[in-house]
Structure 1
Amino acid sequence: MTLQLGETAPNFQASTTEGDIDFHQWAGNSWVIFFSHPADYTPVCTTELGTVAKYADEFAKRNVKTIALSVDDLADHHGWIKDIEETQNTEVNFPIVADPDKKVANLYGMMHPKADSTHTVRSVYIIDPDKKVRLTMTYPSATGRNFKELVRVIDALQLTDNYKVATPANWNDGDDVIIVPSIQEDSELAERFPKGYRVVKPYLRITPQPNRD
Structure 2
Amino acid sequence: MTDPRPINPMLKMVLEIGPVALFFIAFLRLKERSFTIAGTEYEGFIIATAIFIPVILVTTAILWKLTGKLSKMQVFTAVLVTVMGGLTVWLNDDRFFKMKPTMIYLLFGILLGFGLLRGQSYLRMVLEEVMPLEHEGWMILTRRFTAFFFGLAVANEVIWRNFSDEVWVSFKTFGLPVAMFAFFMFQSGLMRRYGIDGEDEGDQS
Q: Same fold (TM over 0.5)?
A: no
Q: What TM-score comes out, normalization by structure 1 length?
A: 0.26
Higher relative contact order, chain-length normalized (CA < 8 Å, sep 6+): 1
Which has the larger strand fraction? 1
Which has the larger helix fraction? 2
Q: What TM-score comes out, normalization by structure 2 length?
A: 0.26
